Chain A
Amino acid sequence: AQTVTQSQPEMSVQEAETVTLSCTYDTSENNYYLFWYKQPPSRQMILVIRQEAYKQQNATENRFSVNFQKAAKSFSLKISDSQLGDTAMYFCAFMKPNNNDMRFGAGTRLTVKP
């Protein structure tokens, strides 16, 4: 079974600063997908970024980027130029390509302070 671990229950960052959220996972699969989802107070799940395990290049989406270390099974999220609207729960998730059920970490509550 796949497990996803987020070891930081809460984090805070000053507006305009950079913050990194950690995620590790455990799997025996060689090919899979990794995700970061944002859940604001509305509780709508919003996809932040996606990484395919067979791609060595780290995914980037505007202010969001990942540091994917496949051998270490690590998938951290870096948020640059943090904005107040980034305040939310962030979930790291793992998905195998053939069955699509997604497994989530426990989440990290990020607060961006003005």
Chain B
Amino acid sequence: GAGVSQSPSNKVTEKGKDVELRCDPISGHTALYWYRQRLGQGLEFLIYFQGNSAPDKSGLPSDRFSAERTGESVSTLTIQRTQQEDSAVYLCASSLRGFDTGELFFGEGSRLTVL
């Protein structure tokens, strides 16, 4: 596609439910990133994919968070048993290669609200 696409754009869920957030990166971009942005705070790194592999998952806040990427394309971030502190905007970004300080291209984000 022309840009990074994320869905849903808005998600309201009840505490304890599972949610899936999807990211479609720019075609041909091998590097994919997930960030979390809480209200009034900076971008918090969650996970990085190079191809379908995630060499560093240390940014994931807890074992309730997981992510996968398939076909060196679409990525899904799953949050199980959501908590109110998970409320945030989840941003996905892709870049052509990673490891080369190239430009990151961001999606518009998925705003998650946990009631």
A and B physically associate: no
